[in-house]
């Protein structure tokens, strides 16, 4: 009887904290996936991790990557222009 009571309390705790709802959503998403991933566990980890609060370090790295991508595109464009000039000469 005590074990059942503890289980029920734990279930209520998970429900109140939103864990059951989140797990249900992720499992439904996996179920509705047209092509099942090779690793269901990786699918769960990815989708559960995506909803976690952002780490400030991760956000800073994302911004840095975005800036680097912009610089890379600018350098590629400049490179193309310079190649065209070199062909002329």
Dihedral, 48, 4, 16, 28 alpha carbons, nearest 10: 40
DSSP of the chain, one letter per residue? -HHHHHHHHHHHHHHHTTHHHHHHHHHHHHHH-SS--S-HHHHHHHHHHHTSPPPHHHHHHHHHHHHHHHHHHHHHHHHHHHHHHHHH-
The verdict on 17 and 29 lying in the same domain is: yes
Q: What is the pLDDT of residue 66?
A: 94
Q: Are residues 58 and 48 in the same domain?
A: no
Q: What is residue 71's predicted lDDT score, i.e. its pLDDT?
A: 96
Using DSSP, state whether 58 is helix, strand or coil: helix
| HSE (side-chain half, CA atoms, 13 Å) at 10 | 6
Residues 48 and 59 in one domain: no
Domain that holds residue 36: 1-52
Number of domains in the chain: 2
The reply to whether 4 and 45 lie within a common domain is yes
Asked if residue 38 and residue 23 are part of one domain, the reply reads yes
7 and 47 share one domain: yes
pTM of this prediction?
Answer: 0.49
Average pLDDT over residues 63-79: 95
Looking at residue 56, its pLDDT comes to: 79
Segment 14-66, tens digit of pLDDT:
999 999 999 999 999 999 999 999 999 888 888 887 555 567 788 888 889 99
Residue 49, pLDDT score: 76
Task: Note whether 43 and 66 are same-domain residues.
Answer: no
């Amino acid at each position: 009887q005590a074990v059942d009571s503890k289980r029920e309390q734990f279930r209520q705790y998970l429900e109140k904290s939103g864990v059951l709802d989140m797990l249900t959503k992720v499992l439904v998403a996996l179920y509705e996936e047209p092509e099942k991933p090779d690793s269901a566990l990786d699918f769960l980890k990815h989708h559960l991790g995506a909803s976690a609060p952002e780490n400030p370090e991760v956000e800073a790295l994302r911004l840095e990557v975005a800036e680097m991508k912009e610089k890379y595109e600018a350098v590629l464009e400049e490179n193309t222009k310079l190649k065209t000039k070199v062909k002329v000469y």
